[in-house]
Amino acid sequence: MTIGRTIILAVGLTLLAGCEHVFEPPKPFHIDSYLSSPGELDKINQVAFVELQFNEQVTPTVSAYSLAISRAVQDRRFTHMRMLEQSPELSDALNMSGQALSLEQLATARKLTGADAIMYGSITRMEQYPRMQVGLKLRMLDLRKGRLIWAIDHVWDTTDKAVEQRIETYFKANVRAGYEPLNSQLVLVSPKVFAGFVAQEVADTIPPKPAPVEANSGK
Sheet-wide strand order for 117-127: 33-35, 147-157, 133-142, 117-127, 46-50, 80-84
pTM of this prediction?
A: 0.76
- Is position 132 within any domain? yes
Binned average pLDDT, 10 residues per bin, the chain of 219 residues: 41 37 46 87 91 90 94 89 87 70 84 92 89 92 90 92 85 64 58 89 89 59
- Is position 116 within any domain? yes
- Is position 103 within any domain? yes
* Eight-state DSSP code of residue 16: H
Among 177, 181, 128, CA closest to 156 = 128
Q: What CATH number has the domain bearing residue 73?
A: 3.40.50
- Is position 41 within any domain? yes
Count of structural domains within the chain:
1
pLDDT at 212: 67
pLDDT at 35: 92
pLDDT at 78: 86
Among 72, 73, 182, 65, CA closest to 133 = 65
- Is position 218 within any domain? no
pLDDT at 27: 47
Residue range of the domain that includes 67: 24-157+194-203
- Is position 50 within any domain? yes
- Is position 184 within any domain? no
pLDDT at 12: 40
